[in-house]
Structure 1
Amino acid sequence: MPGTRLANKVAIITGATGGIGEATARRFLQEGAGVMLVGRSAEKLAATAERLADFSATATFVADVTDEEAAAAAVAATIDRFGGVDILIANAGTEGRTAPIERQTVANFEECLRTNVIGVWLWMKHCVAPMQQRGGGSMIALSSIAGVVGPREMAPYNASKHAVNGLVKTAANELATTGIRVNAIGPGPIDNRMIRSLEEQILPDDPDGIRVMVMAGIAMNRYGTNEEVANLALFLASDESSYCTGGIHMIDGGLTAA
C-alpha cells in the first residue's frame, strides 16, 4: 500500500538516472512525494520516467548540475509543476579516474570537483529561498566513505567528498534557524554502476577479485544496495529526522567502523 511519510512534499533528485537516484525516486514516490527527476541525458531521463510510470507525481528536467542557469531553471520548473520544494537530493556525481597522485590530471581533478562539489553547492544555493517559503526543508548530499577515509589512487574523488562533508556542515549551521536541515549520506560500496567502474579501473584483468578483497574489509561481508541507500534518504527527507542536521550518515556495512 502507498505510504504517507512524504505526503504533500516535493523533492528534486539530481543524478536521477543513476542507481541510487532512481531507487530514491521510487521510494519517495511510494511515500507520497512529488518528484522532479534531473539528469544530463534526455534519453536516460525518459527511460527512468518510464520505469516509474506507475506513479503520476513525476516530472523531468534535463540539466548539467554544474550549470547554474540550469539549476535555477530546474528549481523554477519544480515550483511551477508542484508548487514548491521541500527536499533536495544532491546525488549527481562522478567517480573520476583512478591513478596515483603523481599521474592524476588537472582535467580529472577539475571534473570531480566541479561535479561533486560545485554541483552540490549550486543546487543547495537555489533551493534555500523556496524551502524558506515552505517553512523549512531537507537537503541531502550524497557523499561517500571517501569523505572520511582516503582510499589509494582516488585523490580527486576523495578530495571532492571531503569537501562535500564540509559544505554540508557549513550549510547546516547557516540554515538551522530557518527550518532547513542539511545532511550527507556516506555510502560504502554499493552494488551499482559506479562500484563496477572502480573495480574495472583498479584491476581490469580481475575486477571480481577486487570485489572479494573489498568485501573482506566490510564487517557485514557484502555490498549494499541502491534501495538501502534510498531508505536512509527517506528517513533524512522525512519529518522523522527533525533533529538531524549537519550529520554525515554512513551506510557502509561497518567498513569505516574497523
Structure 2
Amino acid sequence: MLVAGKVALITGAAGEIGAAIARQLMEGGARVALADKNIEGLREIAGGIGGDATCHECDVSDEQSMKLTVEAAEMAHGRLDIGVLNAGISAPRTPLEEVDVTTYDRIMAVNARGVFLGLKHLFPALKRQGGGSIVVTASTEGLRGNAGLAAYAASKHAAVALSKTAAIEWAQHNIRVNCINPGPVDTAMIRALEQASRQAGTADVRERGVSIIPMKRFATAEEIAKFVRFLTSDDASYSTGATYLLDGGMLAGKMALDKF
C-alpha cells in the first residue's frame, strides 16, 4: 500500500486506535505527526514507534489549537499529505431525556466540531501539495440510532455528513475524504464502558456486543489501522465520499435467533 514518502497528521493519536494507525503508516514508509491532548501519552507512543514522529499537544475542539497543530506539523515535516481525524470521546448509556447539556456539548465539541476544524485546517495544507487523503473515524452509530447514545450518535452522524460534504467540495483539488465506521473495538474506551456497566448493574457491554456481531468478536485496533492505511494510500485512489463499515457484519442485518 503506497504511503511511502507521505506525511500524516493523526489526531487522537494517544489512544490505542490512533497509535495503531501511526504504526501502520510508519511501517508503510510514511512520516507521522501525532496530535492529542495527552502529550505524555504521545511521547511514549513516539518513543515506541521510533522514526522521526513529532508530538503536538492539541485540543481538537478548539480552533486555534487545531490550526496551530496543523501548521506545526507541516512546518516540522515540510508537507502534509494525509489527515486522520481520529479523536473522539463517548459517555455511558443514558436515556436521551436524562442527558445533561454539558455532556451533550462536550461530546459534540470533540466528535463533530473536532472533525469540522480538522477538515477546515487540513485543506490548505493538502491543497498546497496538489492533493491528499483524509480519513475520518466515525462509528456504526453514525449510520443508525442507538438507545442510550443520543449525543454520541448525533456527533457521529455529523462526522459522516462532514466527510461526505468535504469529499464533494474537494474532489476538484485531488483531495479524497473517506469515513470509517467501526463497530466495537477492543480498546480502553470499550473496557471503561464495560466497567461502568458492571458497576451500574446493567447488561455486560462485551457480552451484549458480541451477541449481535456475526463474527462473534470485537475488532482489534490493528485491524482498523490496516484499513486506514489502505484508504490513505494511492491504492485507494478512486475512493472518496465513502463510508466504510468495519463491524464484523453487525449492521448487515438482524441475526437469526437459532442456528440454521
TM > 0.5: yes
Q: Match of 1:218?
A: 213
Among the aligned pairs, what percent are the same residue? 38
Q: Match of 1:52?
A: 49
Q: Match of 1:149?
A: 144
CA contact (8 A) 2:193 2:205 kept: no
Partner Cα distance (1:33, 1:158) in 2: 32
TM-score by length of 2: 0.94
Matches within 5 A, 1:110-125: 110-125=105-120
Partner Cα distance (1:110, 1:212) in 2: 30
Displacement, 1:25? 0.1
Partner Cα distance (1:35, 1:208) in 2: 39
Partner Cα distance (2:126, 2:38) in 1: 27
Q: Deviations over 1:23-81 (max 9, x none)?
A: 0000000001110000102211111112212xx23101011111111111111111211
Q: Match of 1:37?
A: 34
Partner Cα distance (1:162, 1:200) in 2: 26
Displacement, 1:205? 5.5
Runs of 5+ consecutive residues of structure 2 not aligned to the other structure: 254-260
Q: Match of 1:165?
A: 160
Displacement, 1:236? 0.6
Displacement, 1:204? 2.5
Partner Cα distance (1:207, 1:221) in 2: 21
The answer to whether the aligner puts 1:100 opposite 2:101 as a matched pair is: no
Displacement, 1:176? 0.7
Q: 49, 52, 72: which one pairs with 1:77? A: 72
Displacement, 1:226? 0.1
Q: Match of 2:81?
A: 86
Q: In the alignment, residue 247 of structure 1 is paired with which amino acid?
A: A
Partner Cα distance (2:203, 2:52) in 1: 39
Runs of 5+ consecutive residues of structure 1 not aligned to the other structure: none
The answer to whether the aligner puts 1:256 opposite 2:256 as a matched pair is: no
Q: In the alignment, residue 182 of structure 1 is paired with which amino acid?
A: V
Q: In the alignment, residue 25 of structure 2 is paired with which amino acid?
A: F
Q: 122, 125, 129: which one pairs with 1:127? A: 122
The answer to whether the aligner puts 1:10 opposite 2:13 as a matched pair is: no
Q: Deviations over 1:104-124 (max 9, x none)?
A: 000010011100011011111
Matched residue of 1:204: which SS? helix
Partner Cα distance (2:203, 2:103) in 1: 25
Matches within 5 A, 1:192-231: 192-204=187-199, 209-231=204-226
Q: Match of 2:170?
A: 175
CA contact (8 A) 1:224 1:252 kept: yes
CA contact (8 A) 2:182 2:247 kept: yes
| Matched positions, count | 253
Displacement, 1:208? 8.4
Partner Cα distance (2:251, 2:71) in 1: 39
Matched residue of 2:199: which SS? coil
Partner Cα distance (1:149, 1:202) in 2: 22
Q: Give the root-mean-square deviation of aligned CA atoms.
A: 1.4
Matched residue of 1:89: which SS? strand
Partner Cα distance (1:214, 1:59) in 2: 36
Partner Cα distance (1:207, 1:13) in 2: 35
Q: Match of 2:257?
A: none
Task: Check 1:207–1:30 CA distance in 2 against 1; reply closer, same or farther (3 A cut).
Answer: farther
CA contact (8 A) 2:182 2:245 kept: yes
Q: Match of 1:186?
A: 181
Task: Check 1:106–1:231 CA distance in 2 against 1; reply closer, same or farther (3 A cut).
Answer: same
Displacement, 1:207? 7.7
